[in-house]
Amino acid sequence: MSPAVPARALAPYPLIVFVAFFAVALPLPVLSQHVHEGMGFSLFTAGWVIGLQSLGTILTRQWAGRMTDRSGSKRAVLLGLPLAGVSGLACFVSTLIADPVPALAVLVFGRLVMGPAESLVLTGAMTWAIARLGAARTGLVMTWQGIAIFAALGLGAPAGLFLMRSFGFAGVAAGMGVATLAGLAVVLPLRAVAPLARGVGASFLGVLGLIWRQGTVLCLSAAPQALLGAYVALHFASRGWEGAGLTLTGFGVGVILVRLLFSHMPDKVGGRRVALVSLAVEALGQGMLWLAPGPVLAVLGATLTGAGVSLVFPAMGVQVVRRVPAASRGLAIGSFSAFFDAALGLSGPLGGLIAVVAGYPAVFLAGGIACLAGVALLLSGGEEGDERPEARPGA
User: pLDDT per residue over 170-211, tens digit each?
Assistant: 999 999 999 999 999 999 999 888 776 554 555 777 888 888
Q: Is 385 a member of any domain? A: yes
pLDDT digits (tens, 9 = 90+) for 236-275: 989 999 988 888 888 888 998 998 899 889 988 888 999 9
Half-sphere exposure (Cβ direction) of 186: Cα atoms closer than 13 Å:
22
Is residue 213 located within the same domain as residue 126?
no
What average pLDDT does range 357-385 have in this prediction?
89
Position with higher pLDDT, 346 vs 221: 221
As a whole number of angstroms, the distance between CA 287 and CA 370 comes to 11
Confidence of residue 56 (pLDDT cuts 50, 70, 90): confident
* Cα distances (Å, whole numbers) of residue 107 to 21, 30, 121: 18, 13, 21
Q: In the listed set 162, 187, 212, which residue is the last one of a domain according to the structure?
A: 187
Is residue 176 located within the same domain as residue 209?
no
Q: What percentage of the chain's residues is helix, strand, coil (to nearest 5)?
A: 85, 0, 15
Rg (CA), the chain: 21
Is residue 251 located within the same domain as residue 369?
yes
pLDDT of 393 reads 37
* Cα distances (Å, whole numbers) of residue 388 to 5, 269, 392, 393: 22, 10, 8, 11
Is residue 300 located within the same domain as residue 379?
yes
Longest dimension (CA), the chain: 62
Q: CB of 326 within 8 A of CB of 395?
A: yes
Q: Is 198 a member of any domain? A: no
Is residue 251 located within the same domain as residue 351?
yes
Phi and psi at 28, nearest 5°, equal -60, -45
Q: Is 197 a member of any domain? A: no
Q: Is 199 a member of any domain? A: no
Q: Is 194 a member of any domain? A: no
pLDDT of 45 reads 84
Determine the straight-line distance between the first and last CA of the chain, rounded to whole angstroms.
20
* CATH number reported for the structural domain that contains residue 73 in this entry: 1.20.1250.20
pLDDT higher than 50, residue 390: no
Is residue 109 located within the same domain as residue 230?
no
As a whole number of angstroms, the distance between CA 50 and CA 33 comes to 11
pLDDT higher than 50, residue 388: no
Structural domain boundaries enclosing 229: 204-390
Q: Is 278 a member of any domain? A: yes
Number of domains in the chain: 2
DSSP state of 184: H
Amino acid at 390: E
Is residue 355 located within the same domain as residue 311?
yes
pLDDT digits (tens, 9 = 90+) for 303-317: 999 999 999 999 998
pLDDT higher than 70, residue 5: no
Is residue 146 located within the same domain as residue 209?
no
Is residue 50 located within the same domain as residue 134?
yes
Is residue 144 located within the same domain as residue 57?
yes
As a whole number of angstroms, the distance between CA 26 and CA 114 comes to 12
pLDDT of 209 reads 85
What average pLDDT does range 55-82 have in this prediction?
89
Kindly report which listed range (9-18, 66-75, 343-352) carries the lowest average pLDDT score.
Answer: 343-352
Confidence of residue 382 (pLDDT cuts 50, 70, 90): low
Is residue 44 located within the same domain as residue 157?
yes
